[in-house]
Amino acid sequence: MRGATKKSFGLVLASGLLLCAFWHTWRPRSSSRVSIWQKQGSAIKKLLEEKSQDSSKDYGDIPYHVKEEVARRLDQNTCVCEADKETVHLPFSHLLFPRVWAHDLHQALLDIDPDPDGTERHRAQQYNDFQIRTYTSADMLIVAEANSPLQYPTQGVEVRPLKTVIIPGLGVKEKPRSRHVVNLTATQGTFDVAATVDRVSITGAGEMSMALSSTHLSSLNRQLQFVTYTNTIFHPRTADTVQFASGEHQSFFTIKVGHRAIPKLYKSGSSGDYNISALVTIATKTFLRYDKLQDLIDSIRQYYPTVTIVIADDNEHPKPVTGPHIEHYIMPFGKGWFAGRNLAVSQVSTKYVLWVDDDFIFTASTKLEKMVDILERTRLDLVGGAVREVTGYSATFRHTISVEEGGEEGDCLHMRQDYHHDIEGFPNCVVADAVINFFMARTDKVRHVGFDPRLARRGHLEFFIDALGIMHIGSCSDVIIDHASKIKLPWGKTETEKNYERFRYSSSGQERNLHTELFYFKYRFKCMTSN
């Protein structure tokens, strides 16, 4: 009896130690809570704007003369659409002398929209959200005040391709001398002045190198307030490095050259409660599992009867999948997992796309409103949920991904089951780099990243590796979807289920080689680590 008691005590002790070890390994770690809300501005930004305005007021008492041919090229932020007037009245004159046409979109909106004022307000709000989401501190104009003694903008100067802009913040703060001289040199554009100042000599105007000199430092600084840069080499997105020098002192700064980012705004109804049907499209890919697909559709319709469902199907013998708000697209047989994702996402016309596997099941805990709420109110591009198995265990599959430079042999990929920090204002939500295969994302961002169609049978982390540095990703454990049971006795499986397993879980040498090629060649990794 005593031996049995000792044995039982030993089992209890061992079980306790195992539980402690499990808890130490899997317990949620303490994390900082960081705000990623969409912010209108900051104290630093306001301070820099005030300093920039104060700087532009210096030397305001020194007169100048506008140089019209240069000033006309400056961006006035007052664009107009004007059509050419017809001057030649001949048959087919529009073919010989094509005219510029103009279309007044505002007037066209008034003609077709029953609530144009509401649409304008909605568009303004969407554009404001877009500006807040895409603006970063790197876009802020910062001027390095003269210490060297050169003063120049360190960042925030941008010009459209082949357009002209005044370079703000240029100045020289040095001791009086017989003559003050500064030089500007660029490689992708030319310099000029939008106005001239008396007692300042300019050589090289309209060229890639321009010199300004004066016996009066104040006049030279006034002239520097009118220096313009014109981009002359077209590129949709690049930068020019400008050298700014005075005597033995020299500095360098960049001027970004690029088209303005075109917003992608979505008309999603009223600004009150979220209209999920107008905001979200559900996308999935199916193969040999029409029964599971129908269960998914039925569960969606129980909670979201009017949300559009887009289905990509690469079955050899496709069956019709019909019903209200269902779009069924047929692919070549066995085209594959990521190719199906590309097809499904390409047909989404809403602001957000929700990705689900075809064997998921919606429940009362699958609250899409929560996912929309965090995407609308933060700068996140994608938010994952949790998948609950038949055992009751819910998985979020949160990973952090980092790439460490490794020299000529390639870089190192490091993946960890972890997350970066909690999200302030959203309990149960964190920021990570990869999440589970149940997520909602901004449609345009998913299209930007895309899915490598060579991954036909299995692939998941590859999408998030492609998204590294492009998408800001979160995960909320309180938005839960169920996973249909995979537990089935071998003798109870249908022939279709057996065929699916042969396709899905086959591990050919060719497939293994493809994954090696992707990581080694496409991503230029020499090794990878994970836990």
User: Please, what is the end-to-end C-alpha distance for the chain in angstroms?
Assistant: 44
- Please say whether the beta carbons of 426 and 464 come within 8 A: no
The tokens of 86 are what? 């017809």
How would you label 147-180 residue by residue, b for 16+ Cβ within 10 Å and e otherwise? ebebbbbebbbbbebeebbbbbbbbbebeeeeeb
Taking CB atoms within 8 Å and a gap of at least 24, the contacts of 102-106 are none
Structure tokens at 244: 């700014």
pLDDT at 2: 45
Which residues are bridge partners to 429 per DSSP? 476
DSSP strand E in 161-236: where? 164-166, 171-172, 180-185, 189-193, 195-196, 200-203, 209-214, 227-231
Check residue 90 and give its pLDDT.
67
Q: What is the architecture of the domain spanning 47-73+141-258?
A: Sandwich (2.60)
Of residues 213, 228, 210, 260, the one with CA closest to residue 70: 228
CA 136 to chain CA mean position, Å: 12
- Show pLDDT as tens, one digit a residue, over the chain (531 residues): 445 444 444 544 444 444 444 443 444 454 577 776 655 555 555 655 665 666 666 778 888 888 888 887 777 666 666 677 776 666 666 666 666 666 676 677 677 778 878 877 877 887 788 777 766 656 667 677 666 799 999 888 999 999 999 999 999 999 889 999 999 999 999 999 999 999 999 999 999 999 999 999 999 999 999 999 999 999 888 889 899 999 888 888 999 999 988 888 888 776 568 899 999 999 999 998 899 999 999 999 999 999 999 999 999 999 999 999 999 999 999 898 899 999 999 999 999 999 999 999 999 999 999 999 999 999 999 999 999 998 889 999 999 999 888 877 888 889 899 999 999 999 999 999 999 999 999 999 999 999 999 988 778 899 999 999 999 999 999 999 999 876 665 655 666 666 666 666 666 666 667 777 788 888 888 888 888
Residue with tokens 């390095």: 144
Q: SS3 for 437?
A: coil
200 phi/psi in degrees, rounded to 5: -125, 130
* Amino acid 486: pLDDT: 65
Entry field: residues in the chain:
531
pLDDT for the residue numbered 498: 63
Highest CATH level, class, for 276-529: alpha beta
* Tokens standing for residue 181: 């001289």
What lies within 8 Å, CB to CB, of 164 at 6+ separation is 70, 73, 74, 75, 192, 228, 229, 230, 231
| Cβ 197 vs Cβ 271: under 8 Å | no
Diameter of the chain by CA atoms? Answer: 116
Helix/strand/coil for 110: helix
User: 3-state class of 347 per DSSP?
Assistant: coil
Estimate to the nearest angstrom the gap between the alpha carbon of 167 and the chain centroid.
29
Instruction: Give the start-to-end residue ranges of the domains of the chain.
Output: 47-73+141-258, 276-529
pLDDT for 272 equals: 67
pLDDT of residue 28: 45
CA–CA dist 494, 149 (Å, integer): 81
